[in-house]
A and B are shown apart, each in its own frame.
Chain A
Amino acid sequence: MKKALAITLAAVMVAGSLAGCGSGGSSETTAQTTAAATTAAAKTEAATTAAKTEAAASGETEAAAAETDKEWYGNDDGTPVHIRLWAGVQPEYGYQQLVDNFNAEYADKGIEAEYVMYKNDTSGNMQLETYLSSGGEVDVFVGYGGRPTLLNRIEANLVMDITDYIEAYHFDLDDNFGKVAMADWRFGDNNDRIYGIPTKAEYRPWMFINEDMFKEAGIEIPYDGWTNEEFLAAAEKLTHGEGIDKVYGVQWGFDYTFSAWKGLMQSVMFPYVTYADDTATAVAYDNPIWKEQLEFTKKTIDLGYAIPFEDEVSEGMTLQTTFLQGKAAMTMGISQMRLILDNETYPHDFMTAVVPGPVPSEEYMDGVHNLHAQNNSAGDIISIAQNTPYPDACFEFLYWYVTGGQIPLVTYGGRMPLYNGIDLDQVVELTAAHAGDLLDTQSLRNYAGLDKSLVVNPVSLTYASTEIDDVFKEEVQAYLQGSQDIDTTISNLVTRGNDLIAQAIAAKGE
């Protein structure tokens, strides 16, 4: 009897644990399919009823557009639909406020949004992609990593084609986000399909400086740009102290914001920075400017003005542990502006200014190169999950987000909007009101007011771009830590990069 009981129990346990996942999954899928079917019907309806006024296209803010939206996005039984927004930023830097605002505004329209944060690193992105392919967890998401990342996800069928919605909403992307900026985000054979809308204007070669330290050392704030030479002189004056108390002139951010430092070095070479031309069949590392810029970085380290590569890596240094603690007078990492604005978590009592990073020489001091305006890496791409059961509600949310809903991200997160409909004065005012004495308002105005139409898109065809970036980091680290000379470094970068490209092309069978 006992044995029989044991057997039954064991069998039930196993069956239960197996069936548990199986049935749970399938019922969810059924629910999704039904929901998808109903919304598909509603979608066509939306396309017709949402023959919007031209308000959106002319760049007015969200209020005008929202009024023309359909009345109810929720379920037929009167309950709201619940959509989840995934992005890689802590909720307190604007996202919580954003969904709260949305929920207040859409309470009677049947959409409820929830914010879910994912970590924007290898495993976090893997988590996002896994959820995107399994369905049910992500409805709208903000992606990073530029065109190659989005392209990968499009090819994996994880991202919804929103071109028809955009047409139905009469939403002119070129007008609202800049023709050139948008050009990088069109896909498909005719380059006319949209899978995501860039929301953030970001100029990576810009940097943060500790204005108090500058004033103390009697250095003029380089609002209008500077050369490497002028930068070096400033770094020298700003560096002082020894051992654990040493204050460095600059922290390049080799560990926590490598791409920002790389972005500064390559700024004047844009767009041929990684690939030598539009065919992307060879790397660009033999451009003499690469050598010049790398040697300049090495010089700042050798002279003791910059935190050495090995120190940054072995200590896992971040902007929070150095710049915000007064251990470095300048730092890269403009995408981290939210940390500068957050005096609660990272208390500091000095004023920060955002200034353009230095250019190699006087010849780059003209408008475009000097202020790095062509280097607008339009980012924070907002997309809809391919298998969301609520595409209508998702697009309505996306539209609301990109046309002004994102304001809290500006205020609390220091993320400058790409959308033309948001007024520059408003951006500066809102950020300044939140930042108080922490941020030099004039410098922010310079940054936020850069001419967005000057953007130059990166080479859109890419091969093995992640691997090539890793090779770059590896070889450059060896050079900056003194274990190989510059010529070997350049030659390794070229050989290894070209090998990777050749392999990737061979693998694609082209």
Chain B
Amino acid sequence: MKKDQGRRKRILRENLIAWTFLLPSAVGMVLFSLIPLLISLYVSLTDWNFASGLGNWNFVWFDNFKQLWSDSWFIASLKNTLIYAVITVPVSLVLSLILAAVIDDFCKKKAAGVVRVAMYMPHICNSVAISAVWMALYSKYGPFSLLLRALGWSDPPRFLADYVWALPALMLVSIWAGLGYRVFIYSASLTALPRDLYESADIDGGTWFQKFRYITVPLLKPTTFFLTVTGIISSFKVFAYTNVMTKGGPGSATYTMVYYVYTTAFKYNRMGYASAVAVILFFMLLVITIIQWIHNSRDEKR
């Protein structure tokens, strides 16, 4: 009996310690994520105008959500965000996987480190700085246009102001900026892969590509899963490049959902409506993540 009480006490104490350590981040999470999330869920059902002050709102139920579907800016932002995610995530995953494998197999230890660090740099750079550099690259007299002219295209597009090219131009920046981070994660996972599989493949005379295809790719699946989830989430949240480089333009060609949330909330002061867009974004991400989890856990069981 006494022993039991002592154990319970110990467990309680351990729990307490654990909670104490978790508390700072838990408090931050509740204050800056959970509570704002709940507030925005509530606000999305109101007609709150930012300028009219906190609490000065009417409850309009799902009016905001109904209105969204006839709003050409929202439709454009939804479409652009989906295109953005569907293209940037797979492309950057494939590229970074290949690059990680190539660096791992063909670069000498020191060189590999240098290459990885160099590729990682954009990830720790300010996105505004990145945007400024790429705006210069995309400029009418920048290297891309000069190259295209040298290749015989007499009047290459103004990438950032062109209805067709603006979105791909932003995607390229985002792929480039995120590549180093993904290569880094893949590289870390690669070093942890069991060597014996590769050795037996060598004995069987497997080529580099066969090893890559049948050993590396399947074994890296958990990493790929992680990068897909975070990649989709971050590509849905893209904002800085749009805000700095194109302001959603030309027209609404590069409007993304978060950019639209921003303009509706802080330019048009329509907090309720902006929250509705944010809530849609939230549920889209929630559904995508749940699907991915289910898919992944099913694979793991198999």
- List residues of A whose CB falls within 8 A of some B CB: 3, 6-7, 10-11, 13-14, 17-18, 122-123, 126, 129, 133, 152-153, 155-157, 244, 309-311, 313-316, 464, 466-467, 470, 474-475, 477-478, 481, 483, 496, 503, 507
Complex Cα–Cα for A129 and B251 (A): 28
Closest chain B residue to A125, Cβ basis: B266
**Can you list, as one digit per residue, whether each of B94-113 has a CB less than 8 Å from chain A (1) or not (0)?**
00000000000000000000
Residues of B within 8 A of A (CB): 16-17, 20-21, 23-24, 27, 47, 50-53, 67, 72, 135, 138-141, 158-163, 249-252, 263, 266-269
The reply to whether B16 and A310 contact each other, CB–CB distance below 8 Å, is no
A251–B52 Cα distance when bound, in Å, is 39
Contact of A481 (CB < 8 Å), options: B17, B27, B161 = B161
Kindly list chain A residues whose C-beta atoms are within 8 Å of the C-beta of B251.
Answer: 474-475, 477-478
Asked if A477 and B266 sit within 8 Å, CB to CB, the answer is: no
Q: Residues of B contacting A17 with CB < 8 Å?
A: 24
* Contact among B51, B135, B160, B161 with A309 in the assembled complex (CB-CB below 8 Å): B161
**A483–B163 touching, CB < 8 Å:** yes
Q: Sorted from nearest, which 9 A-B pairs have the closest CB atoms?
A: A310-B161, A152-B51, A314-B161, A314-B158, A310-B158, A313-B161, A314-B160, A156-B51, A474-B251
Main SS class of interface, B: helix
Bound Cα distance from A496 to B71, whole angstroms: 10
Q: Which residues of A contact B269 (CB under 8 A)?
A: 152
Residues of chain A with a CB closer than 8 A to B20's CB: 6-7, 10-11
Complex interface: chain B residues within 8 A of A14 (CB): 23-24, 27
Q: A123-B266, A126-B266, A481-B161 are in contact. Are A313 and B140 (CB under 8 A)?
A: no
Assuming the contacts A10-B24, A314-B158, A466-B267, asked whether A481 and B163 have C-beta atoms less than 8 A apart, the reply is yes
Between B158, B162, B263, the greatest number of chain A beta carbons within 10 A of the residue's beta carbon is seen for B158
CB pair A155–B252 under 8 Å, yes or no, is no
19 additional A-B residue pairs with CB within 8 Å, beyond A10-B23, A314-B158, A316-B135: A10-B21, A13-B24, A122-B263, A122-B266, A123-B266, A152-B51, A156-B50, A156-B51, A156-B53, A157-B53, A309-B161, A313-B250, A314-B140, A467-B268, A474-B249, A474-B251, A474-B252, A496-B72, A507-B47
* B17 touching A503, Cβ below 8 Å: no
Of chain A, the residue at the smallest CB distance from B252 is: A474
Across-interface contacts of B138 in A (CB, < 8 A): 314
A311 in complex: contacting residue of B52, B140, B268, CB < 8 Å: B140
Instruction: List the B residue with the shortest CB-CB distance to A482.
Output: B163
Name the prevailing secondary structure of the A interface residues: helix
Whether A7 contacts B140 by the Cβ 8 Å rule is no
Find B249's partner among A7, A129, A152, A477 (CB 8 Å cutoff). A477
B21–A122 CB distance below 8 A = no
- Contact residues in A for B162 (Cβ distance below 8 Å): 310, 314
Q: How many angstroms from the CA of A35 to the CA of B210 in the assembled complex?
A: 78
List the A side residues contacting B160 at CB < 8 Å.
Answer: 313-314
B residues within 8 A CB of A478?
Answer: 163, 250-251
Q: A157 CA to B269 CA in the complex, in Å?
A: 15
CB-CB under 8 A for A311 and B23, given A3-B17, A474-B249? no
Some 14 contacts from A to B, beta carbons below 8 A apart, are A7-B17, A10-B21, A10-B24, A11-B20, A122-B266, A122-B267, A126-B266, A155-B52, A156-B53, A244-B141, A313-B158, A313-B249, A314-B161, A470-B267
In the bound complex, CA of A6 to CA of B16 (Å): 12
Residues of A near B268 (CB, < 8 A) are 464, 466-467
- Contact: B52 with A156, CB < 8 Å? yes
A179 to chain B, nearest CB (A): 29
Measured CB to CB, the closest approach of chain B to A170, in angstroms, equals 33
Least Cβ distance of A489 to chain B in Å? 11
Docked pose: A264 CA to B267 CA in angstroms: 24
Contacts of A481 in B (CB 8 A): 161, 163, 250
A315 x B140 contact (CB < 8 A): yes
Nearest CB in chain A to that of B58: its residue? A509
Bound Cα distance A126, B264 (Å): 13
How far does the alpha carbon of A477 sit from the alpha carbon of B253 in the complex, in Å? 12
Which residue of A123, A152, A311 contacts B158 across the interface (Cβ within 8 Å)?
A311
Report yes or no: A6 in contact with B161, Cβ–Cβ below 8 A. Answer: no
Q: Closest A residue to B53 by CB, please name it.
A: A156
Q: State A310–B47 Cα separation when bound (angstroms).
A: 36
Cβ contacts under 8 Å, B249 to chain A:
313, 474, 477
Give the chain A neighbours of B53 by CB distance below 8 A. Answer: 133, 156-157
Give complex CA distance A137, B140 in Å: 43
A477 and B158 within 8 A (CB): no
Contact of B139 among A6, A11, A314, A496 (CB under 8 A): A314
A18 and B268 alpha carbons, distance in the complex (Å): 32
Q: Which residues of B contact A477 (CB under 8 A)?
A: 249-251
CA distance A153 to B21 in the complex (A): 44
Which chain A residues lie closer than 8 Å to B250 at the CB level? 310, 313, 477-478, 481
Q: Which residues of B contact A310 (CB under 8 A)?
A: 158, 161-162, 250
